[in-house]
Amino acid sequence: MNNIKNQFPIFEKESGLTYLDSGATTLKPRSVIEKMMDYYTNYSANIHRGVYGISEQATTAYENAREKVAKFIGVEDPSEIIFTKGTTESINLVARGWGDKKIIEGDEIIVTEMEHHSNLVPWQELAKREGGLIKYIKLGQNHKLDLSELAGSINENTRILAITQVSNVLGAVNQIKQIADVVHDINPEVVIVVDGAQAVAHMPVNVAELGCDFYAFSGHKMYGPTGIGVLWGKKMLLDEMDPVNFGGGMIGEVSKLESTWAPIPDKFEGGTPPIAEAIGLGAAVDFLENFGLENISDQENEVAQYALSQLATIEGLKIFSAGEAGIMAMELSGVHAHDVATILDREGVCVRAGHHCAMPLHQILGAGATFRVSLGIYNTKEDIDKLIVGIKKAKDIFKV
């Protein structure tokens, strides 16, 4: 993976950029940008409608992207891949389309204390609409999930477990297969919804092996464009789910007062979809597969372990992470996270500060705000050295 930065045009303009915020969004490689430019320049027609050449070309490129995404996460039938705007929209689609139909009063929805708001608020709202109950799996030692705690929360009323594969704050990787086995041993009917937003660009993912029912992720966190995401669901569940976005392209028949729906995936993709973005996402899949997820994971882990060893030398720094999936949130005693991030910015180092859309987790950690380092394929140990210099500068400025 030498000279990987050459593949990211942003580094040509910003040669001093140390980008440590890939958890928020990754930078974009040339291959993705060019693939989208190619669509806009050479065949920017709408899909699924025209019988003329460039429309057919666009349709083929869009559907090819679906096939690539399916293969990328181990799915045999591409019609199980629904294009959405991102993880948030994917989870809302399950909560509305499946949840509204299936959840009744007294049903229990299990979430964990480490969820991003996108895998929390849609379930809170579903519970309010339908009279369901939200239950939390607590964090155990080292901020990992406690499997005995998990087993104790599942009963005959449990309908949904909504869980992240990788925490966007703790970097903790949840062992979804093991968790799914524990849950289904107690209640085989529980529908498991996995938030894969922080996983897909950092480790190989095969949804069939995970044993889940729905899997959601975003294109922009895996070197693809913004405005495109994915919901994978088991065909049987997608078939019984209601669409939530009604209009052109998602119907079977329309009469004056009634309509029927197209089969999946079209049923969920009403209106003109993000065509260029889907094609760009296909290019992002190619980009990742070219390096191999195992290789990416090994390299990011090496940089993360180096980061942890260097960060450990800084007095007053509390790290809430074991560095898995390249994510490390931390707090510098006596300095607000936003101040640290501002000083780092002056050094050309980009990190994110705040609650990272995980307020309940920050309350549990006892931290109002943290600053977060999250790695991507382009990060090196030199980037970490610059981070360390920046944090030390913040300590000097604030005299802590």
| 394 beta partners | none
Helix or strand holding residue 230 (H, E): strand 229-233
Q: How far is the CB of 389 from ligand PLP (least distance, A)?
A: 27
Q: Does 274 bind ligand PLP (CB under 6 A)?
A: no
Site membership for ligand PLP, residue 374 (CB under 6 A):
no
| Binding track, positions 205-244, relative to ligand PLP; x by CB under 6 A | -------------x--------------------------
**Binding residue (CB under 6 A) for ligand PLP from 28, 66, 116, 352:** 116
CB of 396 to ligand PLP, least distance (A): 31
Contact (Cβ atoms closer than 8 angstroms) between residue 107 and residue 133: yes
Q: Please state, in angstroms and rounded to a whole number, the distance separating the CA atoms of residues 90 and 352.
A: 24
Nearer to ligand PLP, 18 or 164 (CB): 164
Q: Which amino acid is at 355?
A: H
Smallest gap from residue 77 Cβ to ligand PLP (A) = 24
Is there binding between residue 88 and ligand PLP (CB under 6 A)? yes
Task: Round to whole Å and give the CA distance between 328 and 276.
Answer: 33
- Per the CB < 8 A criterion, the answer to whether 175 and 192 are in contact is no
3-state SS assignment for residue 223: coil
The C-alpha atoms of residue 304 and residue 319 are separated, in whole angstroms, by: 12
Q: Give the Cβ contact number of residue 279 at 10 Å.
A: 25
Site mask, ligand PLP, residues 136-175, x = CB under 6 A? ----------------------------x---x-------
Binding-site member from 22, 92, 112, 198 for ligand PLP (CB under 6 A): 198
Bridging pattern class, strands 108-112 and 133-137: parallel
CB 190 within 8 A of CB 163: no
Cα angle value 106/111/115 (rounded, 5°): 150
**21-60 footprint of ligand PLP as x/- string (CB under 6 A):** --x-------------------------------------
| DSSP code, position 96 | I
Rounded CA-CA distance 157/23 in Å is 35
Task: Kindly determine how many residues on this chain lie close enough to bind ligand PLP according to the rule CB under 6 A.
Answer: 14
Piece of the chain touching ligand PLP by CB under 6 A; list 85-93, 97-105, 271-279, 362-370:
85-93
Using CB under 6 A, which of the segments 52-60, 80-88, 335-343, 387-395 binds ligand PLP? 80-88
Of 303, 357, 365, 394, the active-site residue reads 357
CA-based max dimension of the chain: 72
* Shortest spacing between CB 233 and ligand PLP, in angstroms: 17
Residue 357 falls in the annotated catalytic set:
yes
Where do contacts with ligand PLP occur on this chain (CB under 6 A)?
A: 23, 86-88, 116, 118-119, 164, 168, 195, 197-198, 218, 357
As annotated, the active-site residues are 357
